[in-house]
Each structure stands twice: as C-alpha cells, then as structure tokens.
Amino acid sequence: MLTQDRPAPTRPDAVDRDAVGTKLARLESKPSLDIGEVDYDLRDPDAVRARLAAPLAYSQRVEAMVTGLSIETLMPRTGTGDGYIHRFLAVWTPDEQGHALALDRLLTVLDIEPFPLPQDEPVPLHNRLAGLLGTMSQRMHETVELVYHAVGAMNERLAFSAYERMSEILTELGEHALVDTLLKPLRRDESAHLGYYRTAARELRDRLDRWQIAVARGVITHTYSPVGAGEKKDKPAFAATLRSLGDGGDTGDLVDRVQLIAESLLSVDERKLRPFVRKSFDRCLAV
C-alpha cells in the first residue's frame, strides 16, 4: 500500500493537466494503422532489402517486444495521472502490436525472418523493481512516472526519426506506395505517442521537487540504452540499423534529437546534460 507522505497537490495549473488530456484525446481519435490498406507490391524488393534490411528487422523486433514488457507494472495505480497512463496504454499497446504485424508482413515479402510477438512473457526484473519502488511513497511513484515518460519520449523520438529516415530512403528507391500506406501511418502514430509522453513528462517535472527530478535524471543518464538494445547481444543489431540510416555513417542527427528531448525534460537551469545518448550509441557501435 502506498504511504501518503504528503497530501495530493492542489494546483492552479489545470491548463497543464488539460494539455495532457488534450494529447490523449488526439491520440484516441486518430485512425489506427490498417494492414489491409498497406501496399506491399514493391517495385524493387532486392534494393529495399539491401538498403533497409537491418532497420526494418530491428524496428519490427522492437515493436513486437515492447508490448511484452508489462508497462502497467511500473504504474500500479492511477492516482497521479487520473488514469491518463492507463488510457494511453489502451491505445499504445494495440498500436505497437499493429506496427509489429505490418512490419512482419513486409519482412516476409522481403524474405527476412520476423521476430514473433511475445506470448505470456515474464515481467522484466527492472520493471518489477521500478513498480515496487513506486509503491513506497507518492513521491517515489511520481519519480518513477517521470522516468517512464521521459524515456518514453526519447524512444518515440528515436522511432519517429528512424521511420522518417526510412521514408526518405524508400522515396529515393521509388517505393512511394509503401511510404504512403505504411511509413506515414507509422510516423503519425509515433508522433502521437511522443506528444503524450513529452507533455505528461513536462507536467510532472513542473510540479515535482528538485530532488525527484535529480533522481530521475540520474537514473536515465546512467542507465539509458536505445529501445531494444539494452542487452549486449542486441547492440550489434542496433549498430547495423544506425549504419544503414546514418548519412555516410554519421549518426549525429539521431543522437542530437534524442539528447534534446532529454535536455528539455530533465535539465535544470538550462544546464546541458552530459552526452549520455552519444555514449550509449557508441557502446552499441563498439560491440
């Protein structure tokens, strides 16, 4: 049971809370990806496979695996967000599953083995520990929420940027139908997810104590790994994705975009954070 070490805040910033609700309402009203409308009739499958085999396979694996992480374990109650997190998950989970299935079919067309959707996977230990910490007190629960939303925003920024770059490459290859029917819906969904994560994280940080923000910042800057590349065995696949998407091997743009999200949500007094995203990406490239 949660210990109430301080009363629930009474705040005059209803506009901020409404901002989160507005993002959720937009998320809930957007159309879902319709696999039946995706045009898999590729002009040159060999060229697509040569350029994007690694990024497409990595993206499909991440979209499939994240739905098995039991995110709700991190948030065992609805209190702080008035159920916003659970409303978000009700849209986010089927979105990610739909993305995985759509990319699964594309990989099949390209003769690349897809990653299977998780079936009754055990809850990861780090999620169980984070959820347990969140039950210790209201303040710790809020801190866990900030970590979750900030990392979620970083991951969605990375996913959106990756799909954006894949769209550019597919356009260069003349695969306009696939861009319009698959990549655009993927980017639309990731953008909507990012909007919720970022807005919710900002709302949280604006009312948390400085020590809570410092704890969240410390956890993220010392433990961050790109989504799907937390394990050593998965880092080479992410490195191959970076090399395929980077302009001549330059991954600076992707790094900067993710780092800037972290800066906007976790820095204090406009001080820059250490370049932890670059170091995390470099660890993947070094394996």
Average pLDDT over residues 71-78: 54
Q: What is the distance between the alpha carbons of residues 45 and 268, in angstroms, rounded to a whole number?
A: 48
Q: Give a yes or no: residue 242 inside a domain.
A: yes
Residue with the bigger pLDDT between 153 and 118: it is: 153
Q: Give a yes or no: residue 29 inside a domain.
A: no
Q: Give a yes or no: residue 18 inside a domain.
A: no
Domain that includes residue 87, residue range: 42-286
CATH of residue 100's domain is 1.10.620.20
Report the interhelical angle of 210-223 vs 252-266 (nearest 10°).
Answer: 160
Token pair, residue 112, equals: 């690349």
- Of the listed ranges 72-76, 124-128, 234-238, the least confidently predicted one is 124-128
Average pLDDT over residues 53-65: 94
Q: Give a yes or no: residue 168 inside a domain.
A: yes
Average pLDDT over residues 271-283: 93
pLDDT of 8 above 60: no
User: Does the CA dihedral 88-91-96-97 come out positive or negative?
Assistant: positive
Summarised one tens digit per residue, pLDDT across range 147-163 is 999 999 999 999 999 99
CA neighbours within 13 Å on the CB side: how many for 53? 9
Q: Give a yes or no: residue 21 inside a domain.
A: no
User: Domain tally for the chain?
Assistant: 1
Among candidate residues 5, 30, 123, the one with its CA nearest the CA of residue 74: 123
pLDDT of 169 above 70: yes
Summarised one tens digit per residue, pLDDT across range 189-219 is 999 999 999 999 999 999 999 999 999 999 9
Identify the pLDDT of residue 2.
39
Token pair, residue 197, equals: 């994560």
Q: What is the distance between the alpha carbons of residues 30 and 237, in angstroms, rounded to a whole number?
A: 32
Cα diameter, the chain: 62
247 SS3 class: strand
Let me know: does 216 contact 266? Beta carbons within 8 Å: yes
- Of the listed ranges 85-89, 259-263, 274-278, the least confidently predicted one is 85-89
Among candidate residues 198, 85, 75, the one with its CA nearest the CA of residue 130: 75
Q: Give a yes or no: residue 123 inside a domain.
A: yes
Identify the pLDDT of residue 124.
52
Residue with the bigger pLDDT between 84 and 187: it is: 187
Average pLDDT over residues 51-66: 94
Assign 120 a pLDDT band (cuts: 50, 70, 90). low
Q: Give a yes or no: residue 152 inside a domain.
A: yes
Q: What is the distance between the alpha carbons of residues 35 and 27, in angstroms, rounded to a whole number?
A: 19
Q: What is the distance between the alpha carbons of residues 166 and 168, in angstroms, rounded to a whole number?
A: 5
Q: Give a yes or no: residue 1 inside a domain.
A: no
By percentage, how much of the chain surpasses pLDDT 90? 67
Model confidence, pTM? 0.85
Among candidate residues 30, 25, 110, 104, the one with its CA nearest the CA of residue 67: 104
